[in-house]
Every structure is written in C-alpha cells, then in structure tokens.
Amino acid sequence: MAQKKTGAIPLNEKRCMVELQHPAISTRRQCELLSLNRATLYRPIQMGTETPENLHYMRLIDEEYILAPFYGSRKMREYLMTEGFQVNRKRIQRLMRIMGLEGIAPGPNTSQRNQKHKVYPYLLRNYQIVRPNEVWSTDITYIPMPRGFMYLVAIIDWYSRYVLSWELSNTLDTQFCLDALHSALGKHENPIIFNTDQGCQFTSKEFTSTILDQGIQLSMDGRGRALDNIFVERLWRSVKYECVYLNEFGTVPELHAGLEQYFKFYNERRLHQSLGYKTPKKVHYAA
C-alpha cells in the first residue's frame, strides 16, 4: 500500500483504503499512514434508520418522485392509496422531510436554505458553455436501502457530464459536501463558475468561502427551478435506475463499492446521446 497525502481524504474513504489482510503492511501501520484512529476503523458506519414499513413507503415515494417531482404530500398519499397502502398524509409529510423532497418545487429540495446565509444570483441563464471545467454543479439525493438510507452528493462538469467527485453521508450535514468539493478541486482544473442550489450546506460560510477563495464565481439556482441544475437531476435518475434500484445494497460499504463501480462505468463506458454517443471521460479529457 503506497503512502499518499491524506489532508483532504474523507474519513469513510480512508476506512475503505485500509487492507486488513495486506501481506506486507500491518493494519496499525496503514492507519498511521492515513492518520486514521484504529478504533474508528472498526466502528460500523451507521445508515439512517426507520421502521421497515416506513422504509418501504420511502422507497415507493422515491421511485414515484423521480417520475413526478411535482407531487407533494397530498398527491403522494393518493398514489400510495392507489397502490393499496392505507397511510395518512401526516406520515407522508414526515417521510418526505426526511428524504428532502418537496412537491412545491419541480425538483428535489434535499437541502433546506438557512435564511441567514447569503444567496448568490444564478449566472447560467443564456450562458454558452464551450469546454470542460468551465461550469461545475452539485446536488444531494436520497439513497434508499433495505434497512435504512443514506444521502449522496456529487459534483459534475456540465460540458462533459463527467462526475468529478462524490461522497456518502447518513446525515444532511455540510462536511460531506465539503469533502466532495475538496476532492474535485484537488484533482481537476478549477472551473469558472460553480453552480449549486440554495440549500444550507451550499450557502454555508465554509462551502462558499472555499469556492470564492479559489477565484471561482458562485451561481445558485432560483427557488423552485429544478431545470437550473438539470444535468445533476439527470445523473440522479441514471444512478437510481441503473444502479441503486437494481441492487440490494445491505450495508454502507456495499453501497459505497457499488456506487464506486457505477460511477467508473458512468464516466468511462456509458455512452451519452447528448454527447454524440461518447463517454463523459472521452469528452472531458479531449480538449
């Protein structure tokens, strides 16, 4: 196992890097190289939890919401009733809040705005994007699991659709978004514009200052305008239908490994009609 810089490596990624049966380097030494506490290594990564019944409802809500993101709690309750489930609207409202879904907007509202945080104007209306690393975008989505759930954040290049970085978390905190941001900035040329929604994770001082300190312009979607971030919305549809819904990832490590494999496929092998049937990687690194 080669020694590498660990300053910006997220905790969960460090844990995945340790090889417990490495033939030459002990687990203790690997933890030292990664600045990882051994107690943390063996601590299970917990996912968000709900009752099995609620998790089943959340899975159904998630699948329907991808097809009908304009559904609020009333219509979602009616949908579940037509499927044979006797469930009241109050429960649907609570589950949709946990999932970060809101029918008022035409798209996911996984992160709520903090009214004290500064909001930046949307800069991409009529903006012509002509090369990779000109505009990046990010968003968060809910990931259902058989016995719980997680949240996924990803950063994507608008021109090439290349997924620059991604992270998982069991809470809607700012840190896993920062981990993804540091990872993308550390591996790629800085963009001219970075676009987000108005969620508190992305309007936080920590997140916005990291972007602005790099000389990057910050753009934010208008409230209720899912099309402002359409490329990430399309990514979520692909991730769920082509990976998450096709597999029963029972644990967080299994989910992490499955997503890692999928994003590699998405970047390097998946052909995109909008890219002239080229892969994101080919378009991203062609210029």
Tokens describing residue 211 = 């972007």
The helix or strand, by DSSP H or E, that contains position 14, with its residue range, turns out to be helix 11-17
Selection from 56-70, 152-166, 239-253 with the highest mean pLDDT: 152-166
Would you say residue 114 lies in a domain? no
Average pLDDT over residues 108-125: 69
| Residue 112 banded pLDDT, cuts 50, 70, 90 | low
Residues 58 and 160 in one domain: no
Q: What is the pLDDT of residue 185?
A: 96
Give me the pLDDT at residue 110, please: 52
Pair (38, 64) in one structural domain = no
> What integer pLDDT is reported at residue 211 of this predicted model?
97
- Please, how many CA atoms are within 13 Å of residue 257, restricted to the half-sphere of its CB? 11
Q: Given this model, what pLDDT does residue 277 score?
A: 94
Q: Looking at residue 171, what is its pLDDT?
A: 85
**Does residue 148 lie in a domain region?**
yes
Q: In whole angstroms, give the CA distance from residue 232 to residue 153.
A: 10
pLDDT the model gives residue 105? 43
The residue segments making up the domain with residue 69 are 52-99
Q: How many domains does the chain divide into?
A: 3
Handedness of CA 6, 11, 15, 16 (dihedral sign): negative
Q: Residue 270 above 90 pLDDT? A: yes
Is pLDDT at 218 greater than 70 in this prediction? yes
Whether the model clears a pTM of 0.95, i.e. scores above it, the answer is no
Which of 92-96, 99-103, 154-158 has the highest mean predicted lDDT (pLDDT)?
154-158
Residue 37 predicted with pLDDT over 60: yes
> 273 and 147: one domain?
yes
Mean pLDDT of all residues in the chain? Answer: 83
Looking at the domain assignment, is residue 121 inside a domain? no
In a domain, 115, yes or no: no
Work out the pLDDT band at 1, boundaries 50, 70, 90. Answer: very low
Claim to verify: residue 275 and residue 143 sit in the same structural domain: yes
Q: How much is the pLDDT for 255?
A: 94
pLDDT at 125 exceeding the cut of 90 = no
Same domain, yes or no: 78 and 23: no
Q: 169: which strand partners? A: 151
Is the pLDDT reported for residue 26 higher than 50? yes
270 within domain boundaries: yes
Burial degree of 176 (CB within 10 A; 0-12, 13-18, 19+) = buried
pLDDT digits (tens, 9 = 90+) for 9-25: 666 566 666 665 566 78
- Whether the predicted pLDDT of 95 surpasses 70: yes
Instruction: Report if residue 106 sits inside a domain.
Output: no
pLDDT grade for 45, boundaries at 50, 70 and 90: low
- Are 166 and 280 within one domain? yes
Asked if pLDDT for residue 178 goes beyond 90, the answer is yes
The pLDDT of residue 50: 84
pLDDT of residue 239: 96
Q: Are residues 57 and 197 in the same domain?
A: no
